[in-house]
Chains A and B, each alone.
Chain A
């Protein structure tokens, strides 16, 4: 069969298939832009939409603030944990130094006692 005739038959077939139930579909029209609001209901809907948009923006802004604050809280929590760790380490160090100090005092007292005893013996 001639290719042109074959293609024409196929195009007719295509139009038959794609045109089936076409009456259920409205022919699209080319418009320059969306039509502005026309009646009072449209105007009310427009102002409600704008209000909704403003509220959504407010919610978005507040969500951002909450997000930022949670980040801050997280950071402060981390800082508390690290300071606690540092505190317990310093506490350990203090305890060790205290023990060493006590030990040195004991030794010094013992030494002073032994020196006093030696002096007393010399005098006697």
Chain B
């Protein structure tokens, strides 16, 4: 397998160990600790809410309330911070735990367990700043398609490439996300992203974590605008405050640290996410602790 192919394959197949714990308010009193949590392996390249029905099936036995809708009202939290459902799982993990891959690798031992602990909560009213989830799986699919339309528009200046997909192809495209079929997914995605004579702009999102929130920037990234169009130049242009006092930023993509010298077009080609965007996580100097045990 070529280096690029393996890179893209690993990007697609990355998985995270996730522990989901029910908010104590949702649980029948006196339940043993192990009954109120479940342990899952979730693809980095998916949305957390796609797995909500599965999680609720696992935990419904100890819930105080009947599960009427497996999507509406349920939300994941991490240390009392809302975990938005509308970003890829891997990006959320990298950003919210303040991942420092090199340090993590240096500390890794054979008995190290890397696990992301999330709390599952329920509230009738939508949380501030979150996208309300009222339409179940269909809404997630529609949202994902809109992401691709945006990405397509940024690349080509119009959404024609995705809008002109046949209905079976369009359906297959989403099914590939659900069924984790990389080969077919890449085939359809490449038809949307390929452009003769180079792209107009690149769909990039920068996720910057501060102590209590996740800030997402969507800059206009036109290759060549900053000379070579490298990641470092983009970050200097978009986050100048992070370079004060000689600070060194360590951008993370798909759980690995990438070089600021990398060409953005190359990074997009290698690490484009399942929603058509290149997600870059930037951890501020005051980052949260990596939850390893």
Tell me the A residues contacting B by CB distance below 8 Å. 2-8, 10-22, 24-35, 45-46, 49-50, 52-53, 56
Contacts and interface: CB of A to CB of B under 8 A. Distances in A.
Nearest to B255: A14
A29 B54 contact: yes
B127 to A, nearest CB: 21
B146 interface: no
B16 A18 contact: yes
Given A4-B7, A17-B112, A29-B54, 12 more contacts: A10-B256, A11-B10, A24-B39, A26-B38, A28-B40, A28-B41, A30-B51, A31-B70, A33-B136, A46-B66, A49-B65, A56-B64
Interface residues of B, number: 54
B233 interface: no
Contacts of A15: 10, 14
B66 A49 contact: yes
Interface of B: 3-4, 6-7, 10-11, 14-18, 38-43, 46, 50-51, 53-57, 60-61, 63-67, 70, 101, 104-105, 108, 110, 112-114, 136-137, 178, 254-259, 261-262, 266, 270
A7 B40 contact: no
Nearest to B60: A34
Contacts of B108: 16-17, 20
Contacts, number: 126
Given A4-B7, A8-B7, A18 B17 contact: yes
A58 to B, nearest CB: 15
B28 to A, nearest CB: 8
Given A28-B54, A49-B63, A11 B11 contact: yes
- Which 8 residue pairs of A and B lie closest in terms of their CB atoms, listed nearest first? A10-B256, A31-B53, A34-B70, A25-B41, A11-B10, A28-B51, A28-B40, A14-B255
